[in-house]
Structure 1
């Protein structure tokens, strides 16, 4: 199990715990880690039947405790933002987790609040874009897609919620990989919780990964314009969280030009597309 949170202050909020087949428990609180180049393995069906628990009660009803619907006024600034970060194409920094999706990442959208006041249908395509940026190595640096990663597949809307509590901690998994909005620890913009099966000799096999945006404390937008103020770009944050799902860890220091930088930047779309380090990190896994 691992929990990864993108924050407003750049502080480290990562934790990984592993239980080996022989029952030995290990954990990792560090951020620096060499890349694990092992790629063998196969995906196994998840037989867990979703069940609700006290912690699974959806905190936000439809359309409440979320952002106001985005205004269509003003031109988006994605191209300007990308041009302002040429260092992304020369910075090869990355870190990886002991985690890999060997099959297809099947995901759902919860029925509670969503970032930027998006409708369920709009959120589906925005989250698809974020996941595709990882699985297809979208970048502005000219790097070809050499990542042999299987597709992410949207299944449906669900009454289940992301298994993440208000302290940005992972709760018991329910068998569904759910994306939603809710209340997280103040200072945390979004959190991803991942559960894996131990796979000796290779990276652990991803079983479930949930993503929650903190719509209780922060505002989001899907249209970053010149008038943007105090809002986080949904696709940038979503792409960062998708990176965690497919095995990338946060990086810190002077690497704000990369998607996996651990500090979310207001009104910035840089993380929508990958930098050199993001691409190399994925290539090291897949």
Structure 2
């Protein structure tokens, strides 16, 4: 069940109002902006705030999209993931979802139930991935509701950490190409293609904000101010009744250390694993339970010096296969 989220206008907070059970998370928008606080059941520690033309939540910021469009900010942080998805219907209604709320009316695998509650973010990832048998039997996945028509991507090397500057491009390519298959299954129908290096900036702000959509799919580096390792901003619009991605950028936070081989890990995070997780967001995967589905790439937490999630689990694969088919 979706929960109706309470808006408050910055800077003055609004009080939470009694729960309205079983209400779809739809906020009427007048002139493109929700004009008054609206509240219902909402028990997480963070408030969803409308600040002018923006929606803010837990350090993430997205601009209210045009009618028929939407945007998601998804960040893999040092203690788990946070996400904020804002969709505006053609009729001007705004749907706001956060990672702290279950998405019961979205598509899931037969055995999958997305568990994106706050408690899951507090679970520390094991340093080693569960046994391959578990990785290739756990079918859990959760879908965000959109897909890419194709995936040509660019890399902007500006600002890459000196320690991995020479190997980062290869690790990023490997993380992206790992979207191809898993567990001996057929290759997925969507084939990422590297379009080359670019000087175009990754359109993710240092504070965890989605700052625009230039139509390119760029991955690059940002000296971020938040506690996030990777941040992906994905823009989509509804075309013939289906949500189609029009641009997706990923920033990697140089505030933290990354490694490309375990030999150069010193309290650092595996670049390839972070990239694969963020690519999952770009292609339309949401998070699954850290405790119940620890072998999946799309679990919230990632520990330092672990290179155990450089390939998809069966659930990750089946989620993508449900979107893009196989070949």
Shorter-chain TM band: 0.7 to 0.9
Are residues 1:130 and 2:175 paired?
yes
CA deviations 1:58-94 (Å, max 9, x no partner) are: xxxxxxxxxxxxxxxxxxxxxx956756432222221
What is the 5 A alignment of 1:90-105?
Answer: 90-102=137-149, 104-105=150-151
Counterpart CA distance in 1 for 2:308 and 2:251 is: 20
Counterpart CA distance in 1 for 2:82 and 2:130 is: 29
The one of 67, 86, 91 aligned to 1:17:
86
CA deviations 1:124-156 (Å, max 9, x no partner) are: 33222111111x12x3x33x125322x222223
Greater shift in the superposed pair: 82-91 or 268-277: 82-91
TM-score by length of 1: 0.73
Counterpart CA distance in 1 for 2:162 and 2:320 is: 29
Counterpart CA distance in 2 for 1:116 and 1:145 is: 38
Are residues 1:4 and 2:74 paired?
yes
More helix by share: 1
The one of 188, 194, 217 aligned to 2:234:
194
The one of 298, 301, 321 aligned to 1:260:
298
Counterpart CA distance in 1 for 2:262 and 2:173 is: 18
Are residues 1:219 and 2:257 paired?
yes
**1 or 2 for the larger relative contact order (CA 8 Å, sep ≥6)?**
1
C-alpha distance 36-87 of structure 1, shift in aligned 2 (>3 A): same
Counterpart CA distance in 1 for 2:105 and 2:262 is: 35
Query: Higher Cα Rg: structure 1 or 2?
Result: 2
Counterpart CA distance in 2 for 1:89 and 1:221 is: 26
How far off its partner does 1:249 sit?
Answer: 0.9
Q: Which residue of 2 aligns with 1:174?
A: 214
CA deviations 1:99-135 (Å, max 9, x no partner) are: 1012x21221224212574447x4333222111111x
SS of residue in 2 equivalent to 1:196 = strand
Specify every segment of 5 or more residues in structure 1 that has no aligned partner in the other structure, as ranges.
38-79
Q: How many residues align?
A: 233
Specify every segment of 5 or more residues in structure 2 that has no aligned partner in the other structure, as ranges.
1-70, 109-126
Counterpart CA distance in 2 for 1:269 and 1:35 is: 30
CA deviations 1:253-273 (Å, max 9, x no partner) are: 313321111112211112211
RMSD of the alignment, in Å? 2.4
TM-score by length of 2: 0.65
C-alpha distance 124-229 of structure 1, shift in aligned 2 (>3 A): closer
C-alpha distance 284-186 of structure 1, shift in aligned 2 (>3 A): same
